[in-house]
Structure 1
Amino acid sequence: MLANIKDITRLTAIRFVVLLGLVSLFADVTYEGARSITGPFLAVLGASGTAVGIVAGLGELLGYGLRLISGAISDRTRQYWAITIAGYTVNLFAVPLMALAGRWEIAAMLMIAERIGKAIRTPARDAMLSHATQATGRGWGFGLHEAMDQVGAVAGPLVVSAVLFLRDDYPAAFAILAIPAVLAIGALLLARWLYPRPRELEIARPQLKPQGLPRAYWLYLAGAALAAAGFADFPLIAFHFEKNGIAPQNLIPVLYAVAMGVDAVAALVFGRLFDRIGLVVLAAVTGLSALFAPLVFLGGLPAAVVGMALWGIGMGAQESILRATVAGMVHADRRGTAYGIFNTGYGVAWFLGSALMGVLYDASLSALIAFSVVVQLGAVGMFWRLRGLR
């Protein structure tokens, strides 16, 4: 009987993860489709490399930094669903509005608004997911969600690429992304109706104190911040491809789709490995993905394809393992706050790294590459220190 109860609980948890994964799939079609062309779009509207780097970095700063507030509010109010729905609404509908942007400054504001919406909804959503992944395995549960997420991240750039191929019109590419935005909100409302209390999916509660965060959490955050600082944002990479003619305009979203496809596979594979052997997996993958920078910024199209695949491997491992580890470190009552703090530190590091790499891009590609590689290798060292964590 106990075995049957566990099987039913696991099946229910998987269904919840899959349903939220479906939300993320449609959402990623929307905003990852947009992000695959925002760099070239800003370039066409007259922005400089420095402006692209700062806008991308500022978007990530707000997109991660505001999670400190939204995470704390979600834990305090327990309104996880309301906060998640509000965040997704802002996150998604900022995208089709870019079709109306005639100046790069307006497009930049909408890019930042999209990131703010993501900041509002992510800690609350991840806290709800963490309850389900207790039954499925943390790494595999978050990896499954990330894999579904990245199916959308592959489809979105391909849709945008097709529109650009057929019409060569950026506003039309942004406008068509209103369709998956509506589908994502519909799937989210269905999840809210079917699973109004996700906390009940976590039957075996971890024996952790709800007060405070452990020392390992802060060391882990330091490693994640180093990884974020050295990881170039795609708008800057796409800006480089456009400016230097590395790839035709309509092929740039395809390169992003390649990275997202690799991301999906990496999330599942490395999430499962994390459940078995711990953070040594993240240390190894971070070292491997650090090689993306010289390939995308110094090579031609073949090197760029390999570099984007390595970039996708790094993203997939980070997106599955980073969230899974936090869930296992922290009491359920503190997870919204823990995810908020973690993402704030991650986002500040991403902003500083992105802004600096934007400046370095205009000054010296060699300096940009050296910074990216060295900082990510520093992250490898931090993750290796914590390699026993699962």
Structure 2
Amino acid sequence: MGYGMLVSVPLLSLTGVWQVAALFIIMERFGKALRAPARDTIVSQASKQVGTGLGFAISEVMDQIGALAGPLILSGLFLVIGNTGNEIAKYQKGYSLFWIPFILVMACVTFAFIKVPNPEKLEMAVKRAPEPDKLSKTFWLYAVFTFITTMGFVNFALIGYHFKANNVLSDAQIPLFYAVAMALDGVAAWFIGTYYDRIKKRSNNEKAGLSVLLAIPLFSIFIPILAFSLDFIFALISALIWGIVMGIHETIMKSAIADLTPIKRRGTGYGVFNTVYGLAMFIGSAVMGLLYDRSIAAVIAVAVVLQILAVPVFFLMKKEAFVVS
């Protein structure tokens, strides 16, 4: 059902009414809320044999390829069509192209379901110690850590607005910086994911990779300080760091759930994680957006303080994880 709701994207090609378009967009977001926990659960189960870090790294790299390809397809179409004609008609033609990836996605999902109807068996093939039947204290501490550090993670939309409003970057440079950040996200995800697996293998402990999570607040703390300056070089560095942190979010944060939850509670674990992550991102972005109009220094202070607060929670979580293991 979650992937089926992606039909709302090509359906945008059939409407010129904004209310209907808004309904399709909401439908797609609702579909993502349904498919994300299930998708992450399946990736975690399928990647246990090769390493959860690598599994989520591959998932993130493929995700970024798709995220870059979509806008490039639309841009290419607009270049071919030119500036003549109705603007709505142009977008309708653009969205009509997305029937192709939608059909391919549904074909892949159907094939995967037929080929592996019970993905949890992929993980059961890996020898594991007996597991508890509930979410651990370590998991809930991890959820608190995720909430705090994500709430303090500055949204790129606000960063881009700052670049534009203060003439730090031109209109053309802002999406270019974002594209560079996204590209680095994919590259960082690969290296960080494999490093996460290497730490676990070297220590012979599935929870040893949690140490990598400390990099999130330590890197994130510099983003607002650099991004909200008026310097071009600092703006570039902030975009690069933002991309690296996003890569950690999309790989290690998700990989950790697989190593902290029993198979029977894996879906619940990812559901809780996605809810906590989404709420933190929403609240953090809303608060920083409101503060930005009053004081940029206040935005920086809030973001920095939240990342500092995340550090002791990280050490509590790590201590609990190793006591249990």
- Cα distance in 2 between the residues matched to 1:306 and 1:170: 37
Q: CA deviation at 1:101?
A: 6.9
Residue 209 of structure 1 and its aligned partner are, at CA, apart by 3.8
> Which of residues 195, 212, 217 in structure 2 aligns to 1:281?
212
Question: Aligned residue for 1:184?
Answer: 105
Within 5 Å, give how 1:165-180 maps onto structure 2.
Answer: 167=82, 172=90, 176-177=94-95, 178=98, 179-180=100-101
Task: Give per-residue Cα distances to partners, 1:248-282, cap 9 Å, x unaligned.
Answer: 44443332221111111111111122223322222
Match of 1:207, SS state, is coil
Equivalent residue in structure 2 for 1:123, among 37, 43, 51: 37
Name stretches of at least 5 consecutive residues in structure 2 with no aligned partner.
200-208
- Residue range with higher mean Cα deviation, 334-343 or 279-288: 279-288
- The residue number in structure 2 matching 1:231 is 153
Give the letter aligned to residue 67 of structure 2. A
Structure 2 residue 128 is the aligned partner of structure 1 residue 206: yes
Q: Which structure has the bigger radius of gyration?
A: 2
Please report how far the alpha carbon of residue 199 of structure 1 lies from its aligned counterpart in structure 2 after TM superposition: 2.0
Report the Cα offset of residue 120 of structure 1. Answer: 0.4
Relative to structure 1, the CA distance from residue 300 to residue 359 in structure 2 (aligned partners, 3 Å threshold; closer, same or farther) is same
RMSD of aligned alpha carbons = 3.1
CA distance in 2, matches of 1:302, 1:318: 24
| TM-aligned CA deviation for residue 364 of structure 1 | 1.8
2:5 equivalent in structure 1? 90
User: Could you tell me the TM-score, scaled by structure 2's length?
Assistant: 0.80
In structure 2, the residue corresponding to 1:279 is in which secondary structure? helix
Cα shift at 1:176: 2.6
User: Number of matched residues?
Assistant: 304
The answer to whether the 8 Å contact 1:283/1:381 transfers is no
Counting only pairs closer than 5 Å after superposition, residues 60-209 of structure 1 correspond to structure 2 as: 86-91=1-6, 93-94=8-9, 97=12, 111-160=25-74, 167=82, 172=90, 176-177=94-95, 178=98, 179-202=100-123, 203-204=125-126, 206-209=128-131
Residues 11-50 of structure 1: CA deviation (Å, up to 9, x unaligned): xxxxxxxxxxxxxxxxxxxxxxxxxxxxxxxxxxxxxxxx
Gap change, CA 1:240 and 1:171, over 3 Å in 2: farther
8 Å CA contact 1:165, 1:250 repeated in 2: no
Structure 1 length as normaliser, TM-score? 0.68
Cα distance 1:325–1:361, how it changes in 2: closer, same or farther (>3 A)? same
Matches of 1:348 and 1:215, distance apart in 2: 21
Gap change, CA 1:266 and 1:360, over 3 Å in 2: same
Q: State the Cα distance separating 1:331 from its structure 2 match.
A: 1.4
The corresponding residue for 2:299 is 368
Q: Distance in 2 between matches of 1:284 and 1:165?
A: 41
Q: CA shift at 1:231, angstroms?
A: 1.6
Could you tell me the percent identity over the aligned residues?
Answer: 38
- Picking from 191, 215, 228, the partner of 2:137 is 215
Alpha-carbon deviation of 1:205?
Answer: 5.2
Q: How many angstroms apart in 1 are the aligned matches of 2:186 and 2:237?
A: 16
Give the corresponding residue for 1:22: none
CA shift for structure 1 position 200: 2.3
**C-alpha deviation, 1:220, in angstroms:** 0.6
Could you tell me how far 1:191 is from its partner in structure 2?
2.5
Which of 282-291 and 155-164 deviates more? Answer: 155-164
The one-letter code of the counterpart of 1:89 is: G
Residue by residue, what CA displacement relative to the aligned partner does 1:66-121 show, whole Å, maximum 9, x if unpaired?
A: xxxxxxxxxxxxxxxxxxxx112324634762995776x87766554433211100
Indicate how the Cα distance of structure 1 residues 160 and 99 shifts in structure 2: closer, same or farther if over 3 A, else same.
farther
1:267 is the counterpart of 2:181: no
Pair 1:170–1:248, CA change in 2 (3 A): farther
Deviations 1:106-149 (A, max 9, x none): 77665544332111001111111121111011222222222222
